[in-house]
Amino acid sequence: MTDLTQNQPGHTAQNPGDQLLDLTLHDGSGADWLTRYGSSLLGVFGTPQRVLVRGNGCTVWDADGKEYLDLLGGIAVNALGHAHPFVTSVITSQLATLGHVSNFFTSPTQIALAEKLLELAAAPAGSKVFFANSGTEAVEAAFKLARRNSAPAADGKPARTRILALDGAFHGRTMGALALTAKQAYREPFEPLPGGVEHLPFGSIDALVNAVDETVAAVVIEPIQGEAGVRPLPPGYLQAAREVTTRAGALLILDEVQTGVGRTGSWFAHQPSGVVPDAMTLAKGLGGGFPIGALVTFGDAVSSLFAPGQHGTTFGGNPVATAAALATLHTIDTTGLLSHTHDVGAWLREQLAAVGQVTEVRGEGLLIGFDLDGDYAAAAVTEALQQGFIVNAPTPHTLRLAPPLILTRHQAATFIAALPGILKTAKDVTP
């Protein structure tokens, strides 16, 4: 079998943990691993497509030694690709210095990251950050924040019991985030969900304006709906949402778990609109592959809604996760990755639009969805894997790309060259 320890930055014979990792890397083919997976892991994800054993930049390798161009980046997570030397070194140094403290204490990396996020978000004075470990936890914190905006008005006005989200929304799998998520198949098996959530027709400013009044605690919106197939909001929607929520005293909460941290070519996808939200959730790309989530609250009033003790987490904001995020933000900042993401994304979308079987291309930066002229996206994912490309199919007729932001135009071009063949085969094999 191929020596899978080759070309693996940081994995040298000197590392004391090598023996354990070598077992992991060498003990079995992909098929062997999948058999073991089937008898040891809960079947919530179905059968994994491949067993991946290592990565470097935009490339990953499976247990059988096959190489792939990763155009999905762990679903918008591996912002700097795999095994990024700077992120790896910062994580390693921090872990070797101080790995975890409880939230009875803090650490310099936690504070520095909160300050950096507030600076990048151009958040007004009094803005604050809460750290979690994932997207759904960041959304859960936002949901509780909305409830804190729900107290009945002193003058006898009705309580703010309603939280509005959009059709097609995906906000996560824990109960509060699931209540905000629209898809029935995800929701129904777990009802009753936390109450008060209503879903509005996607993109209808009229529906939004009609729905928002003083009974609404918050409106929760993704600037681009990733899981729904990379659907951007229509122009003017965010501005209308800001106007109507401000007027009604409702919070405008933007879920930037998928769109944030440079993914769309801006630090945060809402920024080009000029809208300042009341809160923003982050996760995915923030840690460059290391798990971390965050809730950013804008301004003093919103940042004071939680009293001490009303929310918390054991791991959230730990020194290693916050160091990983600092390293990721620093690298994006100092290597010009925002404009690179913008440029490569624009080029990729232009090229995709010229492919025969592609009917529509959407997205910003390197969050891209494109529709096919039929429901054969699943077969296209399989054929792309055969040909050495990782993509995904959020809907039966849509493919999504969310590659590392370091993707080069040359790498993108290899996919564009292969795509017509991939789509032709996929269409032919789909009944």
CB of 365 to ligand PLP, least distance (A): 15
Nearer to ligand PLP, 8 or 258 (CB): 258
116 in active site? no
Contact 405, 336 (CB under 8 A): no
131 in active site? no
Does residue 283 belong to the site contacting ligand PLP (CB under 6 A)? yes
d(CA 323, CA 111): 10
User: Could you say which of 62, 70, 255, 278 is catalytic?
Assistant: 255
The two structure tokens encoding residue 192:
């009753």
* Cα–Cα–Cα angle for 228, 232, 233, rounded to 5 degrees: 110
Contact 231, 224 (CB under 8 A): yes
Does residue 170 belong to the site contacting ligand PLP (CB under 6 A)? yes
Does residue 171 belong to the site contacting ligand PLP (CB under 6 A)? yes
d(CA 361, CA 358): 8
Does residue 59 belong to the site contacting ligand PLP (CB under 6 A)? no
User: Could you say which of 284, 298, 306, 415 is catalytic?
Assistant: 284
Does residue 302 belong to the site contacting ligand PLP (CB under 6 A)? no
Q: Hey, CA dihedral for 174, 46, 191, 161, is it positive or negative?
A: positive
Does residue 264 belong to the site contacting ligand PLP (CB under 6 A)? no
SS3 assignment, position 393:
strand
d(CA 63, CA 32): 10
CB of 255 to ligand PLP, least distance (A): 5
Question: Amino acid letter at 92?
Answer: T
255 in active site? yes
Residues 78-117, one symbol each (x = binds ligand PLP by CB under 6 A, - = not), give ----------------------------------------
CB of 374 to ligand PLP, least distance (A): 26
For residue 352, give Cα distances in angstroms to 161, 362, 363, 365, 405.
44, 10, 12, 14, 18
Q: How many CB atoms lie within 10 A of CB 14?
A: 6
Q: How many residues bind ligand PLP (CB under 6 A)?
A: 14
Query: Within 13 Å, how many C-alpha atoms sit on residue 400's CB side?
Result: 22
Return the residue nearest ligand PLP (CB atom): 135
Contact 145, 306 (CB under 8 A): yes
Does residue 398 belong to the site contacting ligand PLP (CB under 6 A)? no
Does residue 226 belong to the site contacting ligand PLP (CB under 6 A)? yes
Nearer to ligand PLP, 57 or 176 (CB): 176
Nearer to ligand PLP, 118 or 169 (CB): 169
Instruction: Please identify which residue in 58, 132, 220, 257 interacts with ligand PLP, judged by CB under 6 A.
Output: 257
* Cα–Cα–Cα angle for 402, 408, 410, rounded to 5 degrees: 115
d(CA 22, CA 313): 34
SS3 assignment, position 167:
coil
Does residue 364 belong to the site contacting ligand PLP (CB under 6 A)? no
User: Could you say which of 170, 202, 268, 298 is catalytic?
Assistant: 170
Does residue 325 belong to the site contacting ligand PLP (CB under 6 A)? no
Contact 263, 340 (CB under 8 A): no
Nearer to ligand PLP, 173 or 424 (CB): 173
Q: Which residues are catalytic?
A: 170, 255, 284
Residues that bind ligand PLP (CB under 6 A): 134-136, 139, 170-172, 222, 226-227, 255, 257-258, 283
